Structure 1
Amino acid sequence: MFNYILYIENKGGGKDSEDCTKIIKNQYIKYFKKKNIKYIKKKNYIELYGSKSFERENGLHKIIRYSPYKNNSIHTSYCKVIFLKKSLYLENIYKKDIKYYYTKSSGAGGQHVNKTNSCVKLFHAITNTKVKCQKERSQNINKKIAEEYLKKKIIKKKKKELNKKNRKKKNEFNDTIRIYYFNKSIAYDKILKKKINIIKIIKGNIDFLFS
Protein backbone atom coordinates (compact mmCIF):
# COMPACT_ATOMS: atom_id res chain seq x y z
CA MET A 1 0.00 0.00 0.00
CA PHE A 2 1.33 3.44 -0.93
CA ASN A 3 1.88 5.58 2.17
CA TYR A 4 2.96 8.94 0.71
CA ILE A 5 1.42 11.41 -1.70
CA LEU A 6 3.77 13.79 -3.50
CA TYR A 7 2.41 17.07 -4.83
CA ILE A 8 4.60 19.43 -6.86
CA GLU A 9 2.81 22.70 -7.52
CA ASN A 10 3.76 25.16 -10.21
CA LYS A 11 4.08 28.61 -8.64
CA GLY A 12 3.72 31.54 -11.00
CA GLY A 13 2.83 29.94 -14.31
CA GLY A 14 4.63 30.25 -17.64
CA LYS A 15 6.99 27.89 -19.43
CA ASP A 16 9.89 28.54 -17.07
CA SER A 17 7.75 27.56 -14.07
CA GLU A 18 6.54 24.46 -15.91
CA ASP A 19 10.17 23.50 -16.56
CA CYS A 20 10.96 24.07 -12.88
CA THR A 21 8.19 21.68 -11.85
CA LYS A 22 9.38 19.01 -14.33
CA ILE A 23 13.01 19.29 -13.18
CA ILE A 24 12.06 18.82 -9.52
CA LYS A 25 9.60 16.01 -10.25
CA ASN A 26 12.15 14.16 -12.40
CA GLN A 27 14.84 14.32 -9.71
CA TYR A 28 12.51 12.53 -7.29
CA ILE A 29 11.43 9.95 -9.89
CA LYS A 30 15.09 9.21 -10.69
CA TYR A 31 15.73 8.79 -6.96
CA PHE A 32 12.73 6.45 -6.56
CA LYS A 33 14.03 4.30 -9.42
CA LYS A 34 17.58 4.17 -8.02
CA LYS A 35 16.28 3.09 -4.59
CA ASN A 36 13.61 0.72 -5.97
CA ILE A 37 10.89 2.73 -4.28
CA LYS A 38 7.45 1.77 -5.54
CA TYR A 39 5.55 4.69 -7.03
CA ILE A 40 2.71 5.42 -9.41
CA LYS A 41 2.13 8.65 -11.31
CA LYS A 42 -1.38 10.09 -11.13
CA LYS A 43 -2.73 13.12 -12.98
CA ASN A 44 -1.81 15.73 -10.36
CA TYR A 45 0.36 13.83 -7.89
CA ILE A 46 2.54 10.77 -7.28
CA GLU A 47 1.76 7.97 -4.83
CA LEU A 48 4.72 6.15 -3.37
CA TYR A 49 5.77 3.72 -0.70
CA GLY A 50 8.78 4.66 1.36
CA SER A 51 10.24 4.60 4.85
CA LYS A 52 12.26 7.82 4.52
CA SER A 53 11.29 11.12 6.13
CA PHE A 54 10.38 12.72 2.83
CA GLU A 55 8.68 15.62 4.64
CA ARG A 56 12.09 17.33 4.99
CA GLU A 57 11.65 18.27 1.30
CA ASN A 58 8.42 20.14 1.95
CA GLY A 59 8.60 23.79 0.95
CA LEU A 60 9.47 26.06 -1.94
CA HIS A 61 12.17 25.07 -4.40
CA LYS A 62 13.67 28.04 -6.21
CA ILE A 63 15.39 27.73 -9.60
CA ILE A 64 17.60 30.46 -11.04
CA ARG A 65 18.75 29.89 -14.60
CA TYR A 66 19.18 31.39 -18.04
CA SER A 67 15.71 31.20 -19.55
CA PRO A 68 15.54 29.54 -22.98
CA TYR A 69 12.24 31.34 -23.44
CA LYS A 70 13.48 34.87 -22.69
CA ASN A 71 16.62 35.34 -24.78
CA ASN A 72 18.74 33.55 -22.16
CA SER A 73 18.15 36.24 -19.57
CA ILE A 74 18.33 35.24 -15.88
CA HIS A 75 14.96 34.02 -14.67
CA THR A 76 13.73 32.86 -11.27
CA SER A 77 11.03 30.19 -10.94
CA TYR A 78 9.40 28.50 -7.96
CA CYS A 79 7.54 25.30 -7.26
CA LYS A 80 6.15 23.94 -4.02
CA VAL A 81 6.98 20.37 -2.97
CA ILE A 82 4.63 18.64 -0.55
CA PHE A 83 5.11 15.07 0.69
CA LEU A 84 2.07 14.02 2.72
CA LYS A 85 1.76 10.79 4.65
CA LYS A 86 -1.35 8.81 3.84
CA SER A 87 -3.46 7.46 6.66
CA LEU A 88 -3.22 3.67 6.77
CA TYR A 89 -6.96 3.47 7.44
CA LEU A 90 -7.37 0.08 5.75
CA GLU A 91 -5.17 -1.53 8.37
CA ASN A 92 -6.94 0.08 11.31
CA ILE A 93 -10.30 -1.69 11.11
CA TYR A 94 -10.28 -4.58 13.56
CA LYS A 95 -13.17 -6.89 14.45
CA LYS A 96 -12.46 -6.39 18.14
CA ASP A 97 -13.48 -2.74 17.70
CA ILE A 98 -16.85 -3.63 16.12
CA LYS A 99 -20.01 -4.22 18.15
CA TYR A 100 -22.52 -6.66 16.64
CA TYR A 101 -26.27 -6.46 17.25
CA TYR A 102 -28.82 -8.97 15.97
CA THR A 103 -32.52 -8.11 15.73
CA LYS A 104 -35.62 -9.21 13.87
CA SER A 105 -35.86 -7.84 10.37
CA SER A 106 -38.68 -5.46 9.53
CA GLY A 107 -40.52 -4.69 6.32
CA ALA A 108 -41.33 -6.92 3.37
CA GLY A 109 -39.96 -10.42 3.20
CA GLY A 110 -42.58 -12.76 4.66
CA GLN A 111 -42.94 -14.47 8.01
CA HIS A 112 -39.39 -15.87 8.12
CA VAL A 113 -37.86 -12.41 7.89
CA ASN A 114 -39.80 -11.13 10.86
CA LYS A 115 -39.44 -14.19 13.13
CA THR A 116 -35.64 -14.61 13.16
CA ASN A 117 -32.82 -12.34 14.27
CA SER A 118 -31.54 -12.04 10.71
CA CYS A 119 -31.05 -8.25 10.79
CA VAL A 120 -27.43 -7.36 11.61
CA LYS A 121 -26.38 -3.96 12.95
CA LEU A 122 -22.74 -2.99 13.37
CA PHE A 123 -21.21 -0.13 15.30
CA HIS A 124 -17.55 0.96 15.05
CA ALA A 125 -16.98 3.12 18.12
CA ILE A 126 -13.59 4.54 17.07
CA THR A 127 -15.03 6.23 13.98
CA ASN A 128 -18.64 6.45 15.28
CA THR A 129 -19.87 4.54 12.23
CA LYS A 130 -23.10 2.51 12.07
CA VAL A 131 -24.48 0.19 9.39
CA LYS A 132 -27.39 -2.21 9.11
CA CYS A 133 -28.18 -5.10 6.78
CA GLN A 134 -31.37 -7.17 6.53
CA LYS A 135 -31.26 -8.02 2.83
CA GLU A 136 -31.03 -11.77 3.22
CA ARG A 137 -32.78 -14.38 5.35
CA SER A 138 -29.45 -15.69 6.60
CA GLN A 139 -27.97 -13.86 9.57
CA ASN A 140 -24.49 -14.99 8.57
CA ILE A 141 -24.81 -13.59 5.03
CA ASN A 142 -26.21 -10.30 6.36
CA LYS A 143 -23.29 -10.14 8.78
CA LYS A 144 -20.75 -10.44 5.96
CA ILE A 145 -22.57 -7.86 3.85
CA ALA A 146 -22.78 -5.49 6.83
CA GLU A 147 -19.04 -5.85 7.45
CA GLU A 148 -18.37 -4.82 3.84
CA TYR A 149 -20.77 -1.88 4.23
CA LEU A 150 -18.97 -0.82 7.39
CA LYS A 151 -15.53 -1.09 5.80
CA LYS A 152 -16.58 1.01 2.79
CA LYS A 153 -18.27 3.62 4.99
CA ILE A 154 -15.21 3.96 7.25
CA ILE A 155 -12.87 4.23 4.24
CA LYS A 156 -15.08 6.92 2.72
CA LYS A 157 -15.12 8.83 6.01
CA LYS A 158 -11.35 8.50 6.46
CA LYS A 159 -10.68 9.64 2.89
CA LYS A 160 -12.85 12.70 3.47
CA GLU A 161 -10.94 13.52 6.67
CA LEU A 162 -7.59 12.93 4.94
CA ASN A 163 -8.51 15.16 1.99
CA LYS A 164 -9.57 17.92 4.38
CA LYS A 165 -6.30 17.57 6.31
CA ASN A 166 -4.26 17.55 3.10
CA ARG A 167 -6.00 20.67 1.76
CA LYS A 168 -5.05 22.46 4.97
CA LYS A 169 -1.44 21.24 4.81
CA LYS A 170 -1.08 22.27 1.19
CA ASN A 171 -1.53 25.88 2.30
CA GLU A 172 1.56 25.51 4.50
CA PHE A 173 5.22 24.96 3.58
CA ASN A 174 5.83 28.41 2.11
CA ASP A 175 9.49 28.68 3.16
CA THR A 176 12.20 28.25 0.53
CA ILE A 177 14.22 25.15 1.43
CA ARG A 178 16.55 24.92 -1.58
CA ILE A 179 17.85 27.25 -4.28
CA TYR A 180 19.10 25.81 -7.56
CA TYR A 181 21.64 28.11 -9.22
CA PHE A 182 21.84 26.60 -12.69
CA ASN A 183 23.95 29.53 -13.86
CA LYS A 184 26.56 28.55 -11.23
CA SER A 185 26.03 24.73 -11.26
CA ILE A 186 25.36 24.65 -7.52
CA ALA A 187 22.39 24.30 -5.22
CA TYR A 188 22.13 25.69 -1.72
CA ASP A 189 20.19 23.61 0.80
CA LYS A 190 18.87 25.79 3.63
CA ILE A 191 18.29 22.83 5.95
CA LEU A 192 21.81 21.43 5.58
CA LYS A 193 23.17 24.97 5.22
CA LYS A 194 25.61 23.98 2.52
CA LYS A 195 26.24 24.08 -1.23
CA ILE A 196 25.73 20.95 -3.32
CA ASN A 197 26.67 20.06 -6.88
CA ILE A 198 23.49 20.67 -8.87
CA ILE A 199 24.08 17.80 -11.32
CA LYS A 200 24.20 15.38 -8.39
CA ILE A 201 20.75 16.50 -7.27
CA ILE A 202 18.92 16.63 -10.61
CA LYS A 203 20.22 13.14 -11.45
CA GLY A 204 18.44 11.82 -8.37
CA ASN A 205 21.51 11.25 -6.20
CA ILE A 206 19.79 12.68 -3.13
CA ASP A 207 19.94 9.87 -0.58
CA PHE A 208 22.19 12.03 1.61
CA LEU A 209 19.29 14.46 2.08
CA PHE A 210 17.33 11.88 4.07
CA SER A 211 20.11 10.47 6.24
Structure 2
Amino acid sequence: MKKPLLIKKLEEYENEFQEISKSIKSNNNIFYDKEKSKEFFKRYLKLERISLLYQKYKKELNFLQEANFIIENDQDIGMKELAFVERSNILKKISNIEKDIENVLFSSSIDIDIEENITEDNRNAIMELRSGTGGDEACLFVEDILRMYTMYFKKSGWKYKIIHAQKGGIKGYKEIILDIIGKEGIGVYGDLKFESGVHRVQRIPKTESQGRVHTSAITVAVLPQVKEIEVKINLSDIKKDTFRSSGSGGQHVNKTESAVRLTHIPSKITVECQEERSQHKNFEKAMNVLRSRIYHKRMEKQLKERSIKRKSLVSTGDRSVKIRTYNYPHSRVTDHRIHKSIHNLTNFMNGDIQEMIDLLKNFDNDQNKF
Protein backbone atom coordinates (compact mmCIF):
# COMPACT_ATOMS: atom_id res chain seq x y z
CA MET A 1 0.00 0.00 0.00
CA LYS A 2 1.34 3.43 -0.92
CA LYS A 3 2.11 5.70 2.02
CA PRO A 4 -0.58 8.40 1.33
CA LEU A 5 -3.25 5.69 1.01
CA LEU A 6 -1.98 3.98 4.15
CA ILE A 7 -2.10 7.21 6.16
CA LYS A 8 -5.60 7.98 4.87
CA LYS A 9 -6.78 4.52 5.87
CA LEU A 10 -5.19 4.83 9.32
CA GLU A 11 -6.85 8.21 9.86
CA GLU A 12 -10.22 6.64 9.06
CA TYR A 13 -9.60 3.89 11.60
CA GLU A 14 -8.41 6.45 14.17
CA ASN A 15 -11.60 8.52 13.73
CA GLU A 16 -13.74 5.39 14.11
CA PHE A 17 -11.79 4.40 17.24
CA GLN A 18 -12.40 7.83 18.81
CA GLU A 19 -16.11 7.63 18.00
CA ILE A 20 -16.44 4.19 19.55
CA SER A 21 -14.51 5.33 22.64
CA LYS A 22 -16.93 8.23 23.09
CA SER A 23 -19.87 5.90 22.59
CA ILE A 24 -18.63 3.56 25.31
CA LYS A 25 -18.32 6.38 27.81
CA SER A 26 -21.77 7.81 27.08
CA ASN A 27 -23.88 4.71 26.42
CA ASN A 28 -24.27 2.14 29.20
CA ASN A 29 -26.98 0.25 27.26
CA ILE A 30 -24.20 -1.45 25.28
CA PHE A 31 -23.58 -3.84 28.17
CA TYR A 32 -27.12 -5.24 28.29
CA ASP A 33 -27.08 -6.93 24.89
CA LYS A 34 -24.51 -9.75 25.14
CA GLU A 35 -24.16 -10.48 21.42
CA LYS A 36 -24.10 -6.81 20.47
CA SER A 37 -21.54 -5.95 23.14
CA LYS A 38 -19.33 -8.87 22.07
CA GLU A 39 -19.18 -7.60 18.47
CA PHE A 40 -18.78 -4.04 19.70
CA PHE A 41 -15.74 -4.82 21.85
CA LYS A 42 -14.31 -7.05 19.15
CA ARG A 43 -14.28 -4.02 16.87
CA TYR A 44 -13.03 -1.76 19.65
CA LEU A 45 -10.01 -3.99 20.39
CA LYS A 46 -9.14 -4.16 16.71
CA LEU A 47 -9.25 -0.38 16.35
CA GLU A 48 -7.33 0.17 19.57
CA ARG A 49 -4.46 -1.92 18.26
CA ILE A 50 -4.43 0.00 14.97
CA SER A 51 -4.58 3.31 16.83
CA LEU A 52 -1.51 2.44 18.94
CA LEU A 53 0.49 1.60 15.83
CA TYR A 54 -0.73 4.75 14.07
CA GLN A 55 0.42 7.00 16.94
CA LYS A 56 3.81 5.31 16.87
CA TYR A 57 3.94 5.68 13.08
CA LYS A 58 3.14 9.41 13.15
CA LYS A 59 5.81 9.99 15.77
CA GLU A 60 8.51 8.41 13.60
CA LEU A 61 7.31 10.31 10.51
CA ASN A 62 7.72 13.56 12.44
CA PHE A 63 11.25 12.54 13.43
CA LEU A 64 11.98 11.77 9.77
CA GLN A 65 10.75 15.21 8.74
CA GLU A 66 13.04 16.87 11.29
CA ALA A 67 16.05 14.83 10.14
CA ASN A 68 15.38 15.72 6.49
CA PHE A 69 15.10 19.40 7.39
CA ILE A 70 18.55 19.35 9.05
CA ILE A 71 20.09 17.50 6.09
CA GLU A 72 18.68 20.02 3.61
CA ASN A 73 19.16 23.26 5.56
CA ASP A 74 21.81 22.97 8.29
CA GLN A 75 25.26 24.34 7.45
CA ASP A 76 27.02 22.32 10.17
CA ILE A 77 28.68 19.26 8.57
CA GLY A 78 28.71 17.40 11.88
CA MET A 79 24.98 17.96 12.39
CA LYS A 80 24.29 16.75 8.85
CA GLU A 81 26.26 13.56 9.43
CA LEU A 82 24.33 12.89 12.65
CA ALA A 83 21.07 13.56 10.82
CA PHE A 84 22.00 11.06 8.08
CA VAL A 85 22.65 8.36 10.68
CA GLU A 86 19.45 9.22 12.54
CA ARG A 87 17.42 9.18 9.32
CA SER A 88 18.72 5.70 8.50
CA ASN A 89 17.60 4.44 11.93
CA ILE A 90 14.22 6.16 11.61
CA LEU A 91 13.59 4.64 8.17
CA LYS A 92 14.24 1.17 9.59
CA LYS A 93 11.74 1.83 12.38
CA ILE A 94 9.17 3.17 9.92
CA SER A 95 9.60 0.10 7.71
CA ASN A 96 9.05 -2.23 10.68
CA ILE A 97 5.97 -0.29 11.82
CA GLU A 98 4.54 -0.36 8.28
CA LYS A 99 4.95 -4.14 8.23
CA ASP A 100 3.17 -4.40 11.60
CA ILE A 101 0.36 -2.17 10.35
CA GLU A 102 -0.09 -4.17 7.14
CA ASN A 103 -0.13 -7.41 9.14
CA VAL A 104 -2.86 -5.97 11.33
CA LEU A 105 -4.88 -4.53 8.44
CA PHE A 106 -4.72 -7.51 6.09
CA SER A 107 -4.31 -10.50 8.38
CA SER A 108 -7.46 -12.42 9.28
CA SER A 109 -6.22 -12.56 12.87
CA ILE A 110 -7.12 -8.91 13.34
CA ASP A 111 -10.78 -9.86 13.60
CA ILE A 112 -10.21 -10.73 17.22
CA ASP A 113 -12.83 -12.54 19.24
CA ILE A 114 -12.65 -11.36 22.84
CA GLU A 115 -12.98 -15.00 23.91
CA GLU A 116 -9.84 -16.02 22.02
CA ASN A 117 -6.33 -16.01 23.40
CA ILE A 118 -4.94 -13.88 20.54
CA THR A 119 -6.33 -10.79 22.23
CA GLU A 120 -4.85 -11.68 25.59
CA ASP A 121 -1.28 -11.87 24.34
CA ASN A 122 -1.16 -8.17 23.48
CA ARG A 123 -2.19 -7.00 26.94
CA ASN A 124 -0.17 -5.70 29.85
CA ALA A 125 -0.14 -8.05 32.83
CA ILE A 126 -0.56 -8.39 36.57
CA MET A 127 1.75 -10.89 38.26
CA GLU A 128 1.12 -12.39 41.70
CA LEU A 129 3.84 -14.25 43.61
CA ARG A 130 2.95 -16.17 46.79
CA SER A 131 4.98 -18.35 49.15
CA GLY A 132 3.81 -21.94 49.51
CA THR A 133 5.34 -24.90 51.29
CA GLY A 134 8.66 -24.26 52.99
CA GLY A 135 8.00 -21.46 55.47
CA ASP A 136 10.72 -18.79 55.59
CA GLU A 137 12.65 -20.48 52.77
CA ALA A 138 9.61 -20.13 50.48
CA CYS A 139 9.38 -16.41 51.34
CA LEU A 140 13.05 -16.00 50.43
CA PHE A 141 12.45 -17.79 47.14
CA VAL A 142 9.59 -15.39 46.34
CA GLU A 143 12.14 -12.59 46.68
CA ASP A 144 14.60 -14.45 44.42
CA ILE A 145 11.98 -15.06 41.75
CA LEU A 146 10.84 -11.43 42.02
CA ARG A 147 14.42 -10.35 41.31
CA MET A 148 14.60 -12.77 38.37
CA TYR A 149 11.45 -11.38 36.79
CA THR A 150 12.29 -7.70 37.38
CA MET A 151 15.67 -8.24 35.72
CA TYR A 152 13.86 -9.85 32.79
CA PHE A 153 11.47 -6.87 32.62
CA LYS A 154 14.45 -4.54 32.44
CA LYS A 155 16.02 -6.54 29.60
CA SER A 156 12.67 -6.45 27.77
CA GLY A 157 12.24 -2.70 28.23
CA TRP A 158 9.12 -3.15 30.37
CA LYS A 159 8.14 -1.13 33.43
CA TYR A 160 6.61 -2.46 36.61
CA LYS A 161 5.01 -1.16 39.80
CA ILE A 162 4.39 -2.92 43.08
CA ILE A 163 0.65 -2.98 43.83
CA HIS A 164 0.77 -4.94 47.07
CA ALA A 165 3.49 -6.52 49.20
CA GLN A 166 3.36 -8.61 52.37
CA LYS A 167 6.73 -9.24 54.01
CA GLY A 168 7.81 -12.66 55.22
CA GLY A 169 8.55 -13.58 58.82
CA ILE A 170 12.33 -13.04 58.60
CA LYS A 171 13.07 -11.90 55.05
CA GLY A 172 11.48 -12.13 51.64
CA TYR A 173 7.77 -11.94 50.86
CA LYS A 174 4.70 -13.96 51.67
CA GLU A 175 2.96 -12.26 48.77
CA ILE A 176 3.74 -9.58 46.21
CA ILE A 177 1.65 -8.28 43.28
CA LEU A 178 3.10 -6.39 40.32
CA ASP A 179 1.61 -4.26 37.57
CA ILE A 180 3.69 -4.85 34.40
CA ILE A 181 3.56 -2.43 31.47
CA GLY A 182 5.24 -3.16 28.16
CA LYS A 183 6.09 -1.14 25.08
CA GLU A 184 2.70 -0.14 23.67
CA GLY A 185 1.29 -2.98 25.77
CA ILE A 186 2.36 -5.52 23.13
CA GLY A 187 3.58 -8.98 24.09
CA VAL A 188 3.65 -8.75 27.91
CA TYR A 189 0.94 -11.24 28.80
CA GLY A 190 1.79 -13.31 25.73
CA ASP A 191 5.28 -13.91 27.13
CA LEU A 192 4.46 -14.18 30.83
CA LYS A 193 1.27 -16.29 30.77
CA PHE A 194 3.32 -19.51 30.73
CA GLU A 195 4.83 -18.60 34.12
CA SER A 196 1.59 -19.34 35.97
CA GLY A 197 1.86 -22.37 38.24
CA VAL A 198 3.94 -23.85 41.06
CA HIS A 199 7.68 -23.09 41.02
CA ARG A 200 9.70 -25.51 43.15
CA VAL A 201 13.19 -24.85 44.54
CA GLN A 202 15.70 -27.42 45.77
CA ARG A 203 18.62 -25.96 47.71
CA ILE A 204 20.34 -25.77 51.09
CA PRO A 205 18.69 -22.98 53.12
CA LYS A 206 20.96 -20.51 54.89
CA THR A 207 19.40 -21.62 58.18
CA GLU A 208 20.26 -25.30 57.55
CA SER A 209 23.18 -26.27 59.79
CA GLN A 210 23.67 -29.85 58.52
CA GLY A 211 23.87 -29.00 54.81
CA ARG A 212 20.70 -30.85 53.79
CA VAL A 213 18.87 -29.92 50.61
CA HIS A 214 15.32 -28.71 51.26
CA THR A 215 12.41 -28.45 48.82
CA SER A 216 10.15 -25.39 48.92
CA ALA A 217 7.54 -24.03 46.56
CA ILE A 218 5.89 -20.78 45.56
CA THR A 219 2.93 -20.00 43.31
CA VAL A 220 3.04 -17.60 40.36
CA ALA A 221 -0.15 -16.29 38.77
CA VAL A 222 -0.11 -14.06 35.68
CA LEU A 223 -3.32 -12.25 34.75
CA PRO A 224 -4.11 -10.16 31.67
CA GLN A 225 -4.95 -6.55 32.44
CA VAL A 226 -8.48 -5.65 31.45
CA LYS A 227 -10.32 -2.38 31.08
CA GLU A 228 -13.42 -1.22 32.88
CA ILE A 229 -15.49 -1.58 29.72
CA GLU A 230 -14.67 -5.29 29.52
CA VAL A 231 -15.58 -6.25 33.09
CA LYS A 232 -18.34 -4.25 34.72
CA ILE A 233 -18.36 -4.57 38.51
CA ASN A 234 -21.33 -3.33 40.49
CA LEU A 235 -20.15 -1.40 43.53
CA SER A 236 -23.04 -2.98 45.46
CA ASP A 237 -21.27 -6.34 44.97
CA ILE A 238 -18.10 -5.09 46.67
CA LYS A 239 -17.30 -5.02 50.37
CA LYS A 240 -14.64 -2.39 51.06
CA ASP A 241 -12.45 -2.41 54.19
CA THR A 242 -9.72 0.07 55.04
CA PHE A 243 -6.78 -0.43 57.39
CA ARG A 244 -3.44 1.10 58.25
CA SER A 245 -0.59 0.38 55.92
CA SER A 246 2.19 -1.84 57.30
CA GLY A 247 5.05 -0.06 55.53
CA SER A 248 8.76 0.01 56.25
CA GLY A 249 8.64 3.09 58.42
CA GLY A 250 8.60 6.86 58.05
CA GLN A 251 6.27 9.68 58.94
CA HIS A 252 3.35 8.47 56.79
CA VAL A 253 3.13 4.90 58.09
CA ASN A 254 0.29 3.81 60.41
CA LYS A 255 -1.19 7.32 60.70
CA THR A 256 -4.10 6.98 58.26
CA GLU A 257 -6.18 4.06 57.03
CA SER A 258 -4.98 4.35 53.44
CA ALA A 259 -4.72 0.60 52.74
CA VAL A 260 -7.72 -0.97 51.01
CA ARG A 261 -9.19 -4.49 51.00
CA LEU A 262 -11.91 -5.29 48.45
CA THR A 263 -14.06 -8.41 48.53
CA HIS A 264 -16.18 -9.25 45.49
CA ILE A 265 -19.15 -10.92 47.14
CA PRO A 266 -20.43 -13.03 44.18
CA SER A 267 -17.04 -14.59 43.39
CA LYS A 268 -15.54 -14.29 46.93
CA ILE A 269 -12.34 -12.87 45.40
CA THR A 270 -10.39 -10.63 47.80
CA VAL A 271 -7.76 -8.04 46.86
CA GLU A 272 -5.56 -5.84 49.06
CA CYS A 273 -3.53 -2.79 48.13
CA GLN A 274 -1.43 -0.64 50.48
CA GLU A 275 1.48 0.67 48.42
CA GLU A 276 0.09 4.17 47.88
CA ARG A 277 -0.37 6.82 50.57
CA SER A 278 -3.74 7.75 49.08
CA GLN A 279 -6.74 5.53 49.84
CA HIS A 280 -8.25 6.59 46.51
CA LYS A 281 -5.19 5.40 44.54
CA ASN A 282 -5.09 2.13 46.48
CA PHE A 283 -8.78 1.62 45.68
CA GLU A 284 -8.14 2.16 41.95
CA LYS A 285 -5.22 -0.30 41.92
CA ALA A 286 -7.20 -2.89 43.90
CA MET A 287 -10.10 -2.53 41.44
CA ASN A 288 -7.74 -3.18 38.52
CA VAL A 289 -6.48 -6.38 40.14
CA LEU A 290 -10.01 -7.45 41.06
CA ARG A 291 -11.19 -6.84 37.51
CA SER A 292 -8.33 -8.92 36.13
CA ARG A 293 -8.97 -11.79 38.55
CA ILE A 294 -12.67 -11.90 37.67
CA TYR A 295 -11.88 -11.81 33.95
CA HIS A 296 -9.20 -14.49 34.31
CA LYS A 297 -11.50 -16.76 36.28
CA ARG A 298 -14.01 -16.46 33.46
CA MET A 299 -11.31 -17.42 30.93
CA GLU A 300 -9.81 -20.34 32.90
CA LYS A 301 -12.58 -22.78 31.98
CA GLN A 302 -12.09 -22.11 28.26
CA LEU A 303 -8.30 -22.36 28.59
CA LYS A 304 -8.61 -25.74 30.30
CA GLU A 305 -11.03 -27.02 27.69
CA ARG A 306 -8.73 -25.96 24.86
CA SER A 307 -5.72 -27.51 26.63
CA ILE A 308 -7.51 -30.83 27.11
CA LYS A 309 -8.39 -30.92 23.43
CA ARG A 310 -4.76 -30.24 22.50
CA LYS A 311 -3.44 -32.57 25.24
CA SER A 312 -1.25 -29.70 26.44
CA LEU A 313 -0.58 -28.50 29.98
CA VAL A 314 1.29 -25.37 28.90
CA SER A 315 -1.62 -22.95 29.07
CA THR A 316 -4.27 -24.61 31.21
CA GLY A 317 -4.34 -21.67 33.58
CA ASP A 318 -4.19 -24.15 36.48
CA ARG A 319 -2.10 -22.57 39.23
CA SER A 320 -1.81 -25.87 41.13
CA VAL A 321 0.27 -27.51 38.39
CA LYS A 322 3.98 -27.91 39.23
CA ILE A 323 5.60 -26.32 36.20
CA ARG A 324 9.27 -25.77 37.04
CA THR A 325 12.04 -26.88 39.40
CA TYR A 326 15.09 -24.78 40.27
CA ASN A 327 17.82 -27.17 41.43
CA TYR A 328 20.68 -25.21 43.01
CA PRO A 329 23.10 -28.10 43.78
CA HIS A 330 23.17 -29.04 40.06
CA SER A 331 22.75 -25.47 38.70
CA ARG A 332 19.76 -26.67 36.70
CA VAL A 333 16.29 -25.32 35.96
CA THR A 334 13.76 -27.78 34.49
CA ASP A 335 10.37 -27.03 32.98
CA HIS A 336 8.24 -30.14 33.48
CA ARG A 337 5.64 -29.29 30.82
CA ILE A 338 8.10 -29.49 27.94
CA HIS A 339 10.77 -31.64 29.70
CA LYS A 340 13.43 -29.03 29.04
CA SER A 341 16.41 -28.33 31.32
CA ILE A 342 18.76 -25.36 31.20
CA HIS A 343 22.09 -25.97 32.94
CA ASN A 344 22.92 -22.39 33.88
CA LEU A 345 20.80 -21.52 36.87
CA THR A 346 22.85 -18.42 37.73
CA ASN A 347 22.10 -16.72 34.41
CA PHE A 348 18.49 -17.85 34.56
CA MET A 349 18.03 -16.28 37.99
CA ASN A 350 19.63 -13.10 36.61
CA GLY A 351 16.74 -12.68 34.19
CA ASP A 352 17.93 -14.72 31.18
CA ILE A 353 14.64 -16.58 30.86
CA GLN A 354 13.70 -15.71 27.27
CA GLU A 355 14.99 -19.02 25.89
CA MET A 356 12.61 -20.96 28.12
CA ILE A 357 9.70 -18.64 27.32
CA ASP A 358 10.33 -19.03 23.57
CA LEU A 359 10.42 -22.83 23.91
CA LEU A 360 7.09 -22.77 25.75
CA LYS A 361 5.53 -20.48 23.15
CA ASN A 362 6.75 -22.66 20.29
CA PHE A 363 5.48 -25.80 22.01
CA ASP A 364 2.08 -24.22 22.61
CA ASN A 365 1.88 -23.02 18.99
CA ASP A 366 2.73 -26.52 17.75
CA GLN A 367 -0.01 -28.01 19.94
CA ASN A 368 -2.44 -25.41 18.66
CA LYS A 369 -2.07 -26.64 15.10
CA PHE A 370 -3.74 -29.94 15.82
TM over 0.5: yes
Structure 2 unpaired stretches of 5+ = 1-122, 165-175, 235-285, 301-316, 359-370
2:219 to 66, 80, 89: 80
Equivalences, count: 149
Structure 1 residue aligned with 2:130: 9
1:89 to 215, 218, 228: 228
1:23 to 105, 121, 144: 144
Distance in structure 2 (CA, Å) of the matches to 1:128 and 1:188: 40
> Percent identity over the alignment?
21
2:349 to 189, 202, 211: 202
1:62 to 196, 200, 212: 200
Structure 1 unpaired stretches of 5+ = 93-125, 130-155
Distance in structure 2 (CA, Å) of the matches to 1:199 and 1:88: 37
Deviations, residues 24-82 of structure 1 (Å, cap 9, x unaligned) = 11100010011110111222300002314211111000000012112132111100011
Report deviation, 1:162.
Answer: 3.9
Distance in structure 1 (CA, Å) of the matches to 2:219 and 2:227: 25
TM-score for both structures, normalised by structure 2: 0.36
Aligned AA (1:32): F
What SS does the corresponding residue of 1:89 show, helix, strand or coil?
Answer: coil
CA spacing shift, 1:10–1:157, aligned 2, 3 Å: closer
2:323 to 177, 188, 205: 177
Contact 1:3 1:88 in 2 (8 A): no
CA spacing shift, 1:88–1:19, aligned 2, 3 Å: same
CA spacing shift, 1:175–1:159, aligned 2, 3 Å: closer
Distance in structure 2 (CA, Å) of the matches to 1:191 and 1:179: 11
Superposition RMSD in Å? 3.1
Deviations, residues 90-113 of structure 1 (Å, cap 9, x unaligned) = 6x6xxxxxxxxxxxxxxxxxxxxx
Deviations, residues 102-157 of structure 1 (Å, cap 9, x unaligned) = xxxxxxxxxxxxxxxxxxxxxxxx9699xxxxxxxxxxxxxxxxxxxxxxxxxx99
Report deviation, 1:20.
Answer: 1.1
**Higher RCO (C-alpha 8 Å, min separation 6):** 1
Structure 2 residue aligned with 1:110: none
Contact 1:62 1:76 in 2 (8 A): yes
Distance in structure 2 (CA, Å) of the matches to 1:159 and 1:29: 19
What SS does the corresponding residue of 2:203 show, helix, strand or coil?
Answer: strand
Report deviation, 1:208.
Answer: 1.6
Report deviation, 1:19.
Answer: 1.1
Where do 1:28-39 residues align within 5 Å? 28-39=149-160
Structure 1 residue aligned with 2:181: 49
TM-score for both structures, normalised by structure 1: 0.61
Aligned AA (2:163): K
Contact 2:196 2:319 in 1 (8 A): yes
What SS does the corresponding residue of 2:337 show, helix, strand or coil?
Answer: coil
What SS does the corresponding residue of 2:216 show, helix, strand or coil?
Answer: strand
Structure 1 residue aligned with 2:335: 189
CA spacing shift, 1:158–1:194, aligned 2, 3 Å: closer
Higher helix share: 2
What SS does the corresponding residue of 2:145 show, helix, strand or coil?
Answer: helix
Higher strand share: 1
Distance in structure 1 (CA, Å) of the matches to 2:160 and 2:289: 20
Report deviation, 1:194.
Answer: 1.6
Deviates more, 1:179-188 or 1:2-11: 2-11
Distance in structure 1 (CA, Å) of the matches to 2:326 and 2:203: 8
Instruction: Look at both structures and tell me which one has the larger radius of gyration over its CA atoms.
Output: 1
What SS does the corresponding residue of 1:9 show, helix, strand or coil?
Answer: strand
CA spacing shift, 1:89–1:200, aligned 2, 3 Å: same
